């Protein structure tokens, strides 16, 4: 049997999943009692419906500021505020319990003050919707069992809490146009993923760019890669090939990738043009 080299959900590894599941169930109960659907409640607390769904199912960590706002909106009388210390403790444990092969990068990513990514085959995990992530793992070969798929989806969603921290990291993402046109999971999943990219691309700390397929020249036709700067540390790079990860800390190798990324950004559409293109794609669906 092929060894599963991917990380388990951090909360499942250290037993903190019960805390998040319980909070999620209480949140759903009070939301429904208030007569709010996930979209309506999300609008009141400043979160999207996908994130509300993930929190209610216990696969996304509820941030302390979210719990304070939810307590106020749902008139929970301090119920959610009271569990903030337990949530903060669980978050600390979760950040340190990744498998050995992935732990180094996971720690650096969680500490990132600057993160830049170039994607060639699929949408970066940090930007994926839950349904897109599930489609990616479901379609992989050899096939994964349902439990493993759900663990991987939960782990991917848990990493996205980097966008909820304050101050947020400075981020830029360059995505090949072909990635946006590929209907992974079907038209509905594709549409929701494009909408997700618009939401993230409009954040003040994010610049999202599209590399048009029609470009005659291209500085990088070999692989996707990520560049990040952890707080107080030097820039590193990360890439995967056929499931094998590589964390690069050699200064010269990182310098070459950073220079290549600069050329990629220069040749891509600018952020405004890129968001306009995504909006056009949505309108044409």
Q: List the domain boundaries for the chain.
A: 10-93, 100-284
Q: What's the average model confidence in pLDDT over 22-26?
A: 90
Q: Please check whether the domain covering 100-284 is classified as CATH 1.10.150.
A: no
Let me know if 49 is exposed, middle or buried by CB neighbors in 10 A (0-12, 13-18, 19+). middle
Q: Which residues are paired to 247 by β-bridges?
A: 238
Tokens (6 digits) for 6 = 């991917």
Residue 2 has pLDDT above 60, yes or no: no
The 10s digit of each residue's pLDDT in 33-51 is: 999 999 999 999 988 887 8
Average pLDDT value over all residues in the chain? 85
| 208 membership: H or E segment, kind and range | strand 206-211
- The separation between the first and the last C-alpha atoms of the chain, rounded to the nearest angstrom, is 42
Please say whether the beta carbons of 279 and 269 come within 8 A: no
Closest Cα partner for 271 from 173, 182, 176, 196? Answer: 173
Q: Beta strand 236-241 with 225-230: parallel, antiparallel or unpaired?
A: antiparallel
Tokens (6 digits) for 110 = 């969680």
Residue 162: DSSP 8-state: G
Q: What is the pLDDT of residue 51?
A: 80
Name the CATH superfamily, with its identifier, for domain 10-93. Answer: lambda repressor-like DNA-binding domains (1.10.260.40)
Residue 72 has pLDDT above 90, yes or no: yes
0.75 exceeded by pTM: no
């Amino acid at each position: 049997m092929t060894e599963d080299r991917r990380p388990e959900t951090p909360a499942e590894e250290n037993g903190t999943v019960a805390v998040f599941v319980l909070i999620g169930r209480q949140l759903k109960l009070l939301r429904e009692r208030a007569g709010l659907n996930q979209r309506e409640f999300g609008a009141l607390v400043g979160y999207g419906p996908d994130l509300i769904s993930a929190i209610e199912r216990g696969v996304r960590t509820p941030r302390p500021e979210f719990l304070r706002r939810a307590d106020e909106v749902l008139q929970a009388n301090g119920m959610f505020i009271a569990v903030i210390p337990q949530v903060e403790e669980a978050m600390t444990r979760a950040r340190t319990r990744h498998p050995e092969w992935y732990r180094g990068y996971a720690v650096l990513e969680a500490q990132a003050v600057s993160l830049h990514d170039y994607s060639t085959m699929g949408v970066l995990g940090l930007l994926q919707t839950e349904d897109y992530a599930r489609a990616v793992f479901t379609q992989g070969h050899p096939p994964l069992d349902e439990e493993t798929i759900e663990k991987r989806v939960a782990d991917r969603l848990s990493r996205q809490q980097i966008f909820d921290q304050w101050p947020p990291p400075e981020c830029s993402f360059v995505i090949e146009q072909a990635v946006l046109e590929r209907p992974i999971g079907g038209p509905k999943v594709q549409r929701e993923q494009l909408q997700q990219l618009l939401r993230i691309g409009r954040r003040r700390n994010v610049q999202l760019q599209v590399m048009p397929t029609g470009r005659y020249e291209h500085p990088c036709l070999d692989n996707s890669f990520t560049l990040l700067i952890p707080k107080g540390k030097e820039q590193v790079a990360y890439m995967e090939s056929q499931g094998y990860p590589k964390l690069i800390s050699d200064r010269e190798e990182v310098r070459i990738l950073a220079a290549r990324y600069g050329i990629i950004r220069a040749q891509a559409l600018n952020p405004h043009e890129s968001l306009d293109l995504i909006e056009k794609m949505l309108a044409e669906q």
